[in-house]
Structure 1
Amino acid sequence: MAQDSWPSPAHNGRAVTDTEYEKIAARFSGDGVYGEPGDSAVVTAGTGLSVNLRANVYASVRGHAWTSGTSTVNLPVTANSSGSTRVDRVVLRLDRADWTVRAVVKAGAPGGGAPALTQNTGDTGVYEVPLANVNLVSGANSVTVSRNELYVGVRIRPCTSTTRNPNPAPGEMCFETNTGRIRVWDGDGWVGLFDDSGVIGVNSPLSAWTIGTESVLQKRNGNVHLRLGSFQRAAGTLAGGDESRLPVLIPAAYRHPTRDQYAMAYTTGVEISRVQIYSAASDRPGQVWLVNHPSIAKGDYVLPGSGISWVVD
């Protein structure tokens, strides 16, 4: 099939079919009601076996606009004499048989919970989005309604870390498929909203120290959280005035750009020591050093505190 585009004078005399319209319009707006959960419920219990849709509600289903109109819409609910409670759904349904969107009550199976949504995405069939659940006890002459509106949300642009929009607008968001990060443009730069590195081991063996417990970090939502492990002195006695590098190295992507970090540690004999984690801007980038401590003999332990964190995004 040759390339095509529409609407265009070269395409069917600028005529666009319903199917062709859906192909482009389904991406113009997310499915659901225009509004937010703090608004009044779209669906409430009506008189007897019925539900009411409030007036002046607007929504979109696969790019097709819908409104409830200027007055309350009443929808009947079929009776239930099955002996089990039945859960129905009120849905907005796009029916491609006539290309209309209507609110309908979709009956569930007694005792079986709310019925599944039908969401056909081809050229035929129906596509449904939820508005509410309707609970109907067997033999009851009234219903109870629980809210379940799907609201139209804000679009997030997919990209990679190297293909973000070069001319973003303030508030624009993107999802980097290669990193799993969500970012927002604040007018000056891309700010991290969500990311999760998973647990990363940061041991960096040195002959002067034996590693007892692994050192690990995890970056989440722009913050690095470090748990330093435990270390035993393997070389000779470390004098109290001497600094010593510990067997840990923070990877470049997780170093604070300008500020060193500090942590407390216990050493054998219940002594207090100080650990320094160097920033990317230092002459020891990413290295971890024991900088203030008592004399530490061969075989003595250094047990740093955990829960050190800093911001990188």
Structure 2
Amino acid sequence: MTDAEYEAIAARFSDDGLDGSPADTQVVSAGVGLTVAVRAGVTASVRGHAWTSGDSTVTLAIGANASGSTRVDRLVLRLDRSDWTVRAVVKAGTPGAGAPALTQETGSTGVYEIPLARVTVLNGAASVTVAREELYVGSRLIPCRSSSRPLMPRQGDHAYELDTGRVILWDGSAWKRIYSDSGLVDITSPVSVWSSEAGSVLQERNGTVSVRLGTWRRTGGTLDNNTDSRLPVLIPAAYRHPTRDQSCLVYITGLNIGRCIIYAANNGDGKAGQVWLTNKPTIATGTTLVPQSGLSWVVD
């Protein structure tokens, strides 16, 4: 395999950047006079080719600036395909023009650069200032199913569940949902004593469930004010709040109000996900209920 062929393969499975995170000590700092120091013990990958700063600090010289304008240089990691090596290189800027652009040539010749730091050199300066600009290797998006998530994830790992469409993040102790979208879910569930005049739906997005309850008409006999009644709605298990019941007001024909309770997943009376009418006046056959809109809760 040639170096060019290796790069074509390795650049796909080995992202460009340093091994670590922005929480680490900065890689490049101002040295003595017109120099910068690259700290020891740093490793990186550029287009699949490895780089290490070695076991001791590396000092690199910065050119003097007598132009009359401030100059901004860049320190980069450069893959040079003339010898297939990766080195830390000072890339001088043009006075008054800002930092120089990165060169990222693809193919079997040329160079490819990723940033480490910006170095500001004032006119006539005897020292420099350094601003961090490290690029770090990110975690891969791992394909999986909700029943077979990665067994030994590292903090920051992402996974995509093929069966649910969810994107999840390992925070070091648990998987957290960062993207999901259920689309509209019909939650109408017929009961014999109520008819649905308008359907009830929900949508879960990124761990938050939003519910629009429909309207209902009493088709059974008169409902006593002291008797609760189940309404024609059922929240599917995946969208129930794990521990907290939800309440909402409901308008009742005749300028009356009542209360609906949406029972949480941990309900011990067999009502999990059900919606019940309570705290109301006596309700006659033919009475219409119109619940409030805008219910939402977090499920993950």
**TM-score of the pair, normalised by structure 2:** 0.70
Percent of pairs identical after alignment? 45
Q: Deviations over 1:27-85 (max 9, x none)?
A: 56433223333332211112333322123333222232222234432223334455554
Pick aligned residue for 1:78 from 63, 81, 86: 63
Q: Distance in 1 between matches of 2:45 and 2:144?
A: 29
1:266 paired with 2:249, answer yes
Q: 2:17 aligns with which of 23, 28, 32?
A: 32
Q: Contact between 1:216 and 1:226, CA under 8 Å: does it hold in 2?
A: yes
Q: Does the 8 Å CA contact 2:256/2:281 hold for their aligned counterparts?
A: no
Residue number among 243, 252, 255 corresponding to 2:229 in the alignment: 243
Task: Decide which moves more: 55-64 or 94-103.
Answer: 55-64
Q: 2:282 aligns with which of 278, 282, 295?
A: 295
Deviation of residue 170 (structure 1)? Answer: 2.2
Distance 1:310 1:150 in 2: 34
Change (3 A) 1:141 1:294: farther
User: What is the aligned counterpart of 1:92 among 66, 77, 83?
Assistant: 77
Higher deviation after alignment, 284-293 or 92-101: 284-293
Aligned length: 283
Q: Please list the CA deviations of residues 184-220 of structure 1 after superposition, one character each: whole Å capped at 9, or x if unmatched.
A: 6x9xxx95543221774757599856669x8643332
The residue number in structure 1 matching 2:179 is 195
SS in 2 for 1:274: strand
1:85-132 CA distance string (max 9 Å, x none): 433221110010111111112233445443333233322221212211
Q: Which runs of 5+ in 2 are unaligned?
A: none
2:187–2:236 Cα contact (<8 Å) kept: no
Mapping 1:210-225, distance limit 5 Å = 216-220=202-206, 223-225=207-209
Deviation at 1:275, TM superposition (A): 1.8
For the residue of structure 2 that corresponds to 1:134, the secondary structure is strand
Match of 1:60 in 2: 45
- Structure 2 CA distance for aligned equivalents of residues 252 and 198 of structure 1: 13
Change (3 A) 1:25 1:305: closer
Aligned AA (2:210): L
Q: Distance in 1 between matches of 2:34 and 2:116?
A: 17
Which segments of structure 1 move beyond 6 Å, counting only runs of 4 or more?
A: 162-165, 280-285
> Against the structure 1 CA distance between its residues 76 and 267, is the aligned structure 2 distance closer, same or farther, given a 3 Å change threshold?
same
Instruction: String of CA shifts for 1:143-175, please: whole Å, max 9, x gaps.
Output: 211112223344443x3649968xx54227533
**Alignment RMSD, CA only?**
4.3
The 1:301–1:102 alpha-carbon spacing in structure 2 relative to 1, beyond 3 Å, is same
1:275 match: 261
Identify which of 120, 124, 128 aligns with 1:143: 128
Task: Please name the residue that 1:170 is paired with.
Answer: 152
Which residues in structure 2 correspond to 1:101-180 (within 5 Å)?
101-157=86-142, 159=143, 161=145, 169-171=151-153, 174-176=159-161, 179-180=165-166
Does residue 308 (structure 1) correspond to residue 290 (structure 2)? The answer is no
- Deviation string, structure 1 residues 214-267 (Cα, Å, up to 9, x no partner): 8643332xx3433445x6665588653252525x664675357xx686322234
> Is the Cα–Cα contact under 8 Å of residues 74 and 119 in structure 2 kept in the other structure?
yes
Which residue identity is paired with 1:295? T
Q: Is the 8 A contact 2:239 2:299 kept in 1?
A: no
Q: Distance in 2 between matches of 1:183 and 1:127?
A: 31
Query: Residue 88 of structure 1 contacts residue 133 of structure 1 at CA under 8 Å; is this kept in 2?
Result: yes
- Report whether the alignment pairs 1:21 with 2:3: no
3-state SS of paired residue (1:19): helix
Instruction: Supply the AA of the counterpart residue of 1:58.
Output: T
Aligned counterparts of 1:62 and 1:150: Cα–Cα separation in 2: 13
Relative to the length of structure 1, the TM-score reads 0.67
Contact map agreement 1:266 1:304 (CA 8 A) in 2: no
Q: Which residue identity does 1:294 align to in structure 2?
A: P
